[in-house]
Amino acid sequence: DAGITQSPRYKITETGRQVTLMCHQTWSHSYMFWYRQDLGHGLRLIYYSAAADITDKGEVPDGYVVSRSKTENFPLTLESATRSQTSVYFCASTPIPAGYNGYTFGSGTRLTVV
């Protein structure tokens, strides 16, 4: 199905482990984003990408790594997970910034670090 898919939907990991959250979109949108949602903070930008092989930091990038070797995929890696990274993570995409149809979000990944 066309759309933006995040996997896994739920993940529990231990402190110090590396974990990768996947994001795949089928529209060939140029722009992709990773946000985290925490109570009291709303959604905060972690990283974004304007095209394949072009990525940049957002508001809260520490402890995260991204890559974008293909337009359709934008994985987010927590190199050494910490409890403070327990959150709901959303991936989003858009063909152009501030387009009429807004930014489309995936269903989210709920990550718990124990």
Partner 1 sequence: AQKVTQAQTEISVVEKEDVTLDCVYETRDTTYYLFWYKQPPSGELVFLIRRNSFDEQNEISGRYSWNFQKSTSSFNFTITASQVVDSAVYFCALKEDQAGTALIFGKGTTLSVSS
Binding residues for partner 1, rule: CB under 8 A, are 31, 33, 35, 40-45, 48, 50, 56, 58, 88, 90, 92, 94, 97-105, 107-108
CA 23/CA 106 separation, integer angstroms: 8
CB of 2 to partner 1, least distance (A): 16
Nearer to partner 1, 55 or 85 (CB): 55
Least Å from the CB of residue 16 to partner 1:
28
Q: Closest separation between CB of residue 31 and partner 1, Å? A: 5
To partner 1, the closest distance from the beta carbon of 108 in angstroms equals 6
Angle at CA of residue 84, ends 103 and 15, nearest 5°: 115
Whichever of 44 and 75 has its CB closer to partner 1, that residue is 44
Q: Which is nearer to partner 1, 12 or 96 (CB)?
A: 96
CB of 14 or CB of 102, closer to partner 1 = 102
